[in-house]
Amino acid sequence: MSDVELTEDEFHRFIALIYRVSGVRIPTTKRVLITNRLRRRLRALNITKFSDYYALLTGPKAQGEMPQFLDEVTTHETYFFRDAHHFEWFGNEFLEEMQTQARLRKRPKGFKVWSAASSTGEELYSMAMKLAEQRAAFSGWDITLLGTDLSMASLQTAREAKYDTRSLRRLGPPERKKWFDPGATPETWVLKPEVKALAKFKHHNLLIPTRDGPFDCVFIKNVLIYFDPESKKTAVKHLIASLAKGGYLVVGPTEGIFSMLDPLEKLKPWLYRMPA
């Protein structure tokens, strides 16, 4: 198996498949990376040829293997409170607005939030921590914190809510003690049950419309940078369609979608709103 090489033609067929299924455009400079990651799946399945693996992915049994394939060839790396000002806005301005609107009877006591590329859960759980800090003020509310991702492995990590020190790099000792219990090793941490219970996760492809909206707030960060313009347009169309009237869209600095957000009102370089 180690002697088998991924040919140029096979490489281009695989990256075309990745794009077709997920919208992610793999650069042609990543041939070695993709080769190594594909080899892991070939070894796991006891397949000796890349062409046979491609045939599996495009044949009648593709559905069973596709999640593992996409887990291997897409990258998932994040940490708690990445872009800290986004979560400060969420914990202060957004949550205060939700309370004010409910007090004025402009909305029922409830709201829905979507982490649209939640990876291993750190983004959504960062919002859950901000909500947990004000749990008394939101007692009895109907609140949804939903995280979705294309990667089944990432979603499993999110549901387990067990993290290493790298994911907690922005949290000092007091915050770690407040929100986490010690894990099995000194380098691992387990999210406290009361925070974990605030969030839920499910599989979703951004190239497909969601049926879980409308959302009062959507975070889309650190994923659309890997999409080409056409895939971005499709994903952004679905994201905008998922927003409630007056709903907010929080955008990562590298997504490259700012020119596609004309239907929304720009409030800050990273914050947009659907007109009410």
Task: Identify whether 20 is part of a domain.
Answer: yes
Considering the entire predicted model, what is its pTM? 0.83
Task: Identify whether 199 is part of a domain.
Answer: yes
Domain-terminating residue out of 25, 45, 73: 73
Share of the chain above pLDDT 70, in %: 98
The predicted pLDDT at position 1 comes to 46
- HEC per residue, the chain: CCCCCCCHHHHHHHHHHHHHHHCECCCHHHHHHHHHHHHHHHHHHCCCCHHHHHHHHCCCCHHHHHHHHHHHHCCCCCCCCCCHHHHHHHHHHHHHHHHHHHHCCCCCCEEEEEECCCCCCHHHHHHHHHHHCCCCCCCCCEEEEEEEECCHHHHHHHHHCEEEHHHHCCCCHHHHHHHEEECCCCCEEEECHHHHCCEEEEECCCCCCCCCCCEEEEEECCCHHHECHHHHHHHHHHHHHCEEEEEEEEECCCCCCHHHCCCCEEEECCEEECCC
pLDDT in tens, 42-81: 999 999 999 999 999 999 988 889 888 988 887 667 899 9
The predicted pLDDT at position 76 comes to 64
- Calculate mean pLDDT across residues 210-233: 93
- Calculate mean pLDDT across residues 15-23: 90
Confidence grade of residue 257 (pLDDT, cut at 50, 70, 90): very high
Residue 19 sits in which domain range? 8-73
The predicted pLDDT at position 33 comes to 87
Name the average pLDDT for the chain. 93
Confidence grade of residue 26 (pLDDT, cut at 50, 70, 90): confident
The predicted pLDDT at position 75 comes to 65
**One domain, residues 146 and 237:** yes
C-alpha to C-alpha distance for 1 and 265, rounded to whole angstroms: 54
**One domain, residues 137 and 105:** yes
Domain-terminating residue out of 24, 45, 73: 73
Task: Identify whether 262 is part of a domain.
Answer: yes
The predicted pLDDT at position 50 comes to 95
**One domain, residues 60 and 191:** no
pLDDT in tens, 143-153: 999 999 998 88
**One domain, residues 109 and 200:** yes
The enclosing domain of 37 has a CATH number of 1.10.155.10
* Number of domains observed in the structure of the chain: 2
**One domain, residues 129 and 202:** yes
pLDDT in tens, 91-119: 999 999 999 999 999 999 999 999 999 99
